Amino acid sequence: MGNDKYKTKLSNGTHPRDHDHEHKHDQDHDHDHDHNEHDHEHKHDHNDHGHNHSHDHHHGHSHGHGHGHDHAHGIGHHHHGPNNEKGLTIALLITASIMILEFFGGLLTNSLALLSDSGHMLSDAAALALSLVAMWFAVKPAAPNKTYGFYRFEILAALFNGATLFVIAGFIIWEAYERLLNPPTVSSGSMMVIAAIGLLANLGSAWVLMRKGDVKDNINVRSAYLHVLGDALGSVGAIIAGLLMLAFSWYIADPIISVVVALLILKSAWGVIKHAIHILMEGTPVTIDCEDVKRSLLHIHGVRDVHDLHVWTITSGLDSLSCHVLIEDDADSQDVLQQAIHLIERKYKIMHTTIQVETSSLQHGELKV
């Protein structure tokens, strides 16, 4: 993940190195490793469970090179916030209850607006349940064949939730089209009562998610939150349609309002899908400007160039960065490395970094990305 062939991935506490410099280390090579107490610097912060490693290797090859790697890791210790699970559970119970009420209410009143909203709530209940399952998967420890663990399951869940919204909106629009051609009589009074109960319940679910969950930064919780807001819009639409039918007998208002709600649902769903795909495609987080990151690193004394810079999101709230930093031959690689770590953590809030420090003597092949 991340496309950087020099990036070290974690697996059971090991740090495999992948150097693409076309040289071999075997028993036939005479090389000397100078590993003193200053070459290996281990720092452990038990408050956030992150740890940094700096390695300075000097190999006795004809094309000698020096480089340092730093790994400031948050993998395996990423948290979704203590209340996300509780907020989703409460919202799921409320949504499932109102879904049943609106489904039978729609059948009794012959209201498409109520039936469409209950169908939307069915999707919401499934989305909330899937979000809870995703959170459970995300806390599972990393494995040798899944060095980032199961964090991406959250993103897949958000993508699936967005896709289901598209499907449900399509069904609503199709049924509305048929009802526009032949508007049925609707029991508007009962319809409005049921819709009002649904609206209050949806607003309650949205409030719980806002108070208990991380709606702003966690795409999984945000997709569930948008599902609940879509339900609230459906209830509002049903109430408006009921008023128009009760006052003017405009039964065509029921399918028209249903289409308007469906279009609003599509807009929200597209935002979730686009964000999820951006993460899965290793896109740069929207809060990070790679050019600004590069300029900031170049301001560190002794840094000549920054290349092969990648910033991507593993899951909501957990970004990663990797890059190569070319320094002056007489610069202190460990000092430059430490400054870079602190800069990235402080300014960009990225705790998982992999930085390769290079001098002019280092030669490596052309990188594809």
DSSP 8-state assignment for residue 366: P
On whether residue 4 sits in a domain, the answer given is no
- Same domain, yes or no: 106 and 88: yes
On whether residue 62 sits in a domain, the answer given is no
- Same domain, yes or no: 311 and 349: yes
Per the model's pLDDT, the better-predicted residue between 141 and 40 turns out to be 141
Residue matched to tokens 């031959």:
329
> What's the rounded mean pLDDT across residues 288-294?
96
On whether residue 347 sits in a domain, the answer given is yes
Q: What is the mean pLDDT of the chain?
A: 76
**What is the domain range of residue 310?**
290-358
| Model pLDDT, residue 82 | 44
Phi, psi torsion values for 318, nearest 5 degrees: -135, 95
On whether residue 367 sits in a domain, the answer given is no
- Same domain, yes or no: 268 and 198: yes
Residue matched to tokens 């992999």:
354
Per the model's pLDDT, the better-predicted residue between 277 and 188 turns out to be 277
- Same domain, yes or no: 205 and 333: no
SS3 77: coil
Q: Which of 281, 305, 330 is the C-terminal boundary of a domain?
A: 281
Separation of alpha carbons 262 and 166, rounded Å: 9
- Same domain, yes or no: 130 and 217: yes
Q: Which of 247, 281, 315 is the C-terminal boundary of a domain?
A: 281
- Same domain, yes or no: 179 and 90: yes
Judge contact between 106 and 118, C-beta under 8 A: yes
Token pair belonging to 328 = 């002056």
**DSSP-derived secondary structure for 345-358:** HHHH---EEEEEEE
- Same domain, yes or no: 267 and 339: no
- Same domain, yes or no: 347 and 236: no
CATH number of residue 300's parent domain: 3.30.300.30
Quick: pLDDT tens for 255-288: 888 888 788 778 878 888 999 999 999 999 999 9
Judge contact between 111 and 238, C-beta under 8 A: yes
Q: Which long-range contacts (CB under 8 A, 24 or more apart) does 257-261 make?
A: 257/113, 258/112, 258/113, 258/116, 258/172, 258/173, 258/175, 258/176, 258/179, 259/172, 259/173, 259/176, 261/113, 261/116, 261/117, 261/172, 261/230, 261/233, 261/234, 261/237
Domain count across the chain: 2
Separation of alpha carbons 34 and 305, rounded Å: 26
In sequence order, the β-bridge partners of residue 146 are 143
Quick: pLDDT tens for 26-71: 444 343 444 343 443 333 343 444 344 444 433 333 333 334 444 4
| Residue from 194, 228, 223, 237 nearest 208 by CA | 228
Per the model's pLDDT, the better-predicted residue between 74 and 221 turns out to be 221
CATH number of residue 171's parent domain: 1.20.1510
The predicted model scores a pTM of 0.65
